[in-house]
Structure 1
Amino acid sequence: MTGRLRAPTGRYGGKSAAQRQAERRRRFLDAALQLFGDTPGYRATTVAALSEAAGLSTRQFYEEFHTLEDVLAALHLQVNDWAEAAVRTAAARTRDLPLPDRAAAIFRAYAGNVTADPRRVRITFVEIIGVSPRLEEQRLARRARWVDLIRAEAHTAVLRGEAAHRDYRLAATAFIGGVNGLLHDYSAGWVDATLDEVVDELVGQLLAVLRPPGPRPAG
């Protein structure tokens, strides 16, 4: 197939072509969340199986996507966007709180959003790994986005005198790696702890990154 098929235009059933296209795309992504994030997984799913699960045809699939990898890429971004929206909402709501309370609220929002649905954990931490150079680049770009978010919070804490003044890039990158590993293991049932205990541990590590041992900053 040389290119994406052209979707129909005009109104049908009271919906515009753009509305119908958005609905088809949502149905494909919803089906992908189930098939990729549960059984059988991304690598064992076919276009025909995904189309059947979405209640749509393979022709409609190719009107929206070129390959199943495109679907996985879109789903990975969507899951991350959901988590980022939860984090930014929590950050805005707690901007005037002390650092420990702010960090706990922000990270609890992230962990709660990601682990609320085990399929999101699998998409974020399992299915996206090793698919292709393109998706690896996307995964690392989203991880860098999370690193930048932590660095922004660290910068705010520095300005308030709550954290030491230093470059937090390496520390934030290491912290994100720990988050990914621990949340994956928790969701897989390999960690004998509650979600609250996991979050408390990670918040403690984040605070240790922001406030390393030594003299507290003035102010």
Structure 2
Amino acid sequence: MTGRLKAPTGRYGGKTAEERQAERRRRFLDAALQLFGDTPGYRSTTVAALSEAAGLSTRQFYEEFRTLEDVLAALHLQVNAWAEEAVVAAVAGAGPLPLAERAAAIFRAYAANVTGDPRRVRITFVEIIGVSPRLEEQRLSRRSRWVDLVCAEAAAAVARGEAAPRDYRIAATAFIGSVNGLLHDWNAGWVDATLDEVVDELVRQLLSILRPPGWGPAPT
């Protein structure tokens, strides 16, 4: 299959072609979240099985996507977008809170969104790994956005006199790796802790990065 089939145009059933296309795409992604994120997983799912789960035909699949990898790529971006929306809302809501409380609110929002549906955890941390160079580049690019967010929060904390001034990119990259690993292991049942305890540990790690031993805020 070298390209998508051409989708029908015009109004049908009271919906425009664009509305029908958006609905089909949503149904395919909903089905993919179930099949890729649960059983049987991305590598054991076929176009026919995904189409059946979506209640659509394989022809309609090829009107929306070229391959199952395209579906996984779109789903991975969607799951990350949901988490990012939750974090952005938490950042806005945290406003003038002290650093520790602000960090806790942000990571609680992220952890609750990602782990609230185990299928999202599997898409984010398991199914996307090792599929292809293209998806590896997408995974790293998307992770870089989270690194940018941590760096932005660190810069804001420095500006408020709540954190030590430094280049935080390497530390933020290492920290995001810790976040991903800990949440994956917790969701898999390998970490005996509550989600609040997991978040508290992540906040402690972040604060230790932002406030290294020997550093203290300048006297006012």
Which residue does the alignment assign to 2:197? 197
| Superposition TM-score, scaled by structure 1 size | 0.99
In structure 1, distance between residues paired with 2:14 and 2:110:
38
Deviation for aligned residue 1:3:
1.6
Q: Aligned runs of 1:42-191 on 2, under 5 Å?
A: 42-191=42-191
Q: In the alignment, does 2:25 pair up with 1:12?
A: no
Structure 1 residues not aligned, in runs of 5+: none
Instruction: Decide which moves more: 202-211 or 24-33.
Output: 202-211
Q: Distance in 1 between matches of 2:182 and 2:152?
A: 23
Structure 1 segments of 4+ aligned residues over 4 angstroms from their partners? none
TM-score, structure 2 as length reference: 0.98
Alignment size in residue pairs: 219
User: 1:95 offset after TM fit, Å?
Assistant: 1.7
Q: Secondary structure at the match of 1:86?
A: helix
Aligned mates of 1:27, 1:134 — CA distance in 2: 24
Cα separation, 2, equivalents of 1:210 and 1:119: 32
Partners of 1:191 and 1:209 in 2: CA distance? 23
The aligned amino acid for 2:211 is R
CA deviation digits over 1:97-126, x for unaligned, max 9?
110110000010000000000000000000
State the Cα deviation string for residues 190-211 of structure 1 (Å, max 9, x = none).
1111111111111111111111
Is the partner of 1:21 in helix, strand or coil? helix
Q: Equivalent residue of 1:39, what SS?
A: coil
In structure 2, distance between residues paired with 1:217 and 1:74: 44
Shift of 1:212: 1.1
Q: For 1:2 and 1:140, how far apart are their aligned partners in 2?
A: 27
In 2, Cα distance between equivalents of 1:124 and 1:79: 7
Offset, 1:140: 0.2
Match of 2:154, as an amino acid? A
Q: Which whole-Å deviations, capped at 9, do the CAs of 1:125-183 have from their partners, x for residues lacking one? A: 00000000000000000111100000000000000000000000011011110111110
- Tell me the CA shift for residue 2 of structure 1: 2.6
> After superposition, what is the alpha-carbon deviation per residue over 1:35-87, rounded to whole angstroms, capped at 9, x for unaligned?
00000000000000000000000000000000000000000000000000000
Partner Cα distance (2:76, 2:9) in 1: 29
Query: What is the alpha-carbon distance in structure 1 between the residues aligned to residue 215 and residue 77 of structure 2?
Result: 41
Do the aligned residues in 1 keep the contact of 2:25 with 2:64 (CA within 8 Å)? yes
* Structure 1 residue 213: Cα displacement: 1.1
The percent identity for this pair of structures is 83
User: What is the RMSD of the two structures over their aligned residues, measured on CA atoms?
Assistant: 0.7
1:215 shift after superposition: 2.6
Are the counterparts in 1 of residues 2 and 66 from structure 2 also a CA contact under 8 Å?
no
Unaligned ranges ≥5, structure 2: none
